[in-house]
Chain A
Amino acid sequence: EAQVTQNPRYLITVTGKKLTVTCSQNMNHEYMSWYRQDPGLGLRQIYYSMNVEVTDKGDVPEGYKVSRKEKRNFPLILESPSPNQTSLYFCASSFGRGDQFFGPGTRLTVL
């Protein structure tokens, strides 16, 4: 089954404790991206990757890091999480500039 998977689906952590949210797709998509969803703001792009070892900032990259060492994986790293990073996070992937397929979302709470 073609899909984008994210882990964990739910995470509660404390300020400053490094964490990684994984994203994996099995569709051989070149393009992957991360969004965050906040009430009243819709979804906003954090980072994106056009292919392996090619990443760039989206609209709200502060406090986040990403890497793209393999085509199928695109982890989101929060080196020192803060409460304002409490949000719902989505990973998405696509062939080139085609329609984006979204993962199921990760609910992150930073205390």
Chain B
Amino acid sequence: AQTVTQSQPEMSVQEAETVTLSCTYDTSESDYYLFWYKQPPSRQMILVIRQEAYKQQNATENRFSVNFQKAAKSFSLKISDSQLGDAAMYFCAYRVLIRSNNLFFGTGTRLTVIP
């Protein structure tokens, strides 16, 4: 069974500082995708970043980057130069490349940005 674990229910960061959100997952599959989604107070689910498991290079999107450790099944998100607009719930998600296209989500980490 696929599981995604986010062990940090809440995190806080000072504006302009860097924060890392942790995620681990469990799978027997060799080919899959990993994602970080952001959910602001508006509740909209916004894709932040994607990592293909077959790629060794860590994905980056502007101030967002990941540390993907396939052997350890770890997928952390680093937010640099944190901004007030980064405050949100962040979900780690995993997707296998099978029929259902199902996204398996973690339970989320609530990030607070302190001015």
- Enumerate chain A interface residues (CB-CB to B < 8 A): 31, 33, 35, 40-45, 48, 50, 56, 58-59, 88, 90, 92, 94, 97, 99-100, 102, 104-105
Hey, which chain A residues are within 8 Å of B106, CB to CB?
42
Hey, which chain A residues are within 8 Å of B97, CB to CB?
97
Count, A-B residue pairs, CB within 8 A: 51
Helix, strand, loop or mixed for chain A's interface? Answer: strand
Asked if residues A100 and B108 are in contact (CB atoms below 8 Å), the reply is no
Contact A58-B100, Cβ < 8 Å, known A41-B107, A42-B91: yes
- Enumerate chain B interface residues (CB-CB to A < 8 A): 4, 35, 42-45, 47, 50, 91, 93, 95, 97, 99-103, 105-108
Asked if residues A105 and B99 are in contact (CB atoms below 8 Å), the reply is no
Helix, strand, loop or mixed for chain B's interface? Answer: loop
Asked if residues B103 and A90 are in contact (CB atoms below 8 Å), the reply is no
Instruction: A45 to B64: give the CA distance in the assembly, Å.
Output: 27
Instruction: A97 to B101: give the CA distance in the assembly, Å.
Output: 6
Hey, which chain B residues are within 8 Å of A33, CB to CB?
101-102
